[in-house]
Amino acid sequence: MCSREARRLLSQLTANQGFTCPEADWSPRGRGPPRHLGLASNWFAGITHKQGLVIAGLSDAPFGIDLERFNSRHTDRLEGLIDILPEPHVRDAIRQARSPQQAFYQAWTLHEALFKLAAQTSQPASSAFNTRLESALQASDQIRLWQNREWTLAVTGCASLLLETGPASMISGMTEVNSVFY
C-alpha cells in the first residue's frame, strides 16, 4: 500500500515538472532508488515511508531521504541501539544529549538518508552503517533534519528538493533542527 502511494506521489511530482511517468512503470520496490524511463537522467526520485505516512521527493541532484517514528519499545533498548552506530564520537554525543532518544533518531535517519544518497551515485554503500556522519556533518549545507515528538525526517545531498506527502501527513508540526545532536 505505501509503495503504491509513493509511486502515485512520484508520478504527481514528475507530472508537475513536465515529465510523463505513469505510476505502474516505476521500478519495483527493493531494487534501489525509484527509477522511471520517463524521468530525465539528470533527475532523481526518492521515497520513504513509515507506519502509513509516505513522503516522495524529486530533485535535479542526487539525494537521500528517511523518516522514522518514535517507538516506545526503543526506550528500553536504546543503549543497545546506540551501540549499533559505527562512530564512537556519535555514540558519545547521543548519550550526552538532552534527549538521547531524539538524538538517536537523528543519527539513525541521517545514516539511512546517506545510504539512500550513496545508492544514487557511482559508489553505493553496502549498508547504512558504512556511511559516516562526521564527514556528512562537515557538509552541513547538504543536510536537512526535521523533528517533533513523534517523527524525524532527514534529507541529505541537495539544496533544492520537491516533497509530496499523502493526505494523512503528520509532519506538518515538525520543525527544522538547526543543530544536529551535538
pLDDT, one tens digit per residue, over 114-144 is 999 999 888 888 888 788 887 777 766 678 8
Give the orientation angle of helix 100-119 with respect to helix 73-84, to 10 degrees.
50
Percent of the chain's residues with pLDDT above 90: 57
Higher pLDDT, 63 or 159: 63
Whether residue 132 lies inside any domain: the answer is yes
Whether residue 81 lies inside any domain: the answer is no
**Number of domains the chain is built from:** 1
Mean pLDDT to the nearest integer, 86-96: 93
CA 100 distance to own-chain centroid: 20
pLDDT of residue 87: 92
Whether residue 126 lies inside any domain: the answer is yes
Whether residue 150 lies inside any domain: the answer is yes
Whether residue 148 lies inside any domain: the answer is yes
Q: What is the pTM of this model?
A: 0.88
Note down the domain range covering 21.
2-72+108-176
Whether residue 143 lies inside any domain: the answer is yes
Q: Is the pLDDT of residue 166 over 70?
A: no
pLDDT of residue 182: 42
Distance CA 30, CA 11 (A): 18
Q: Is the pLDDT of residue 168 over 80?
A: no
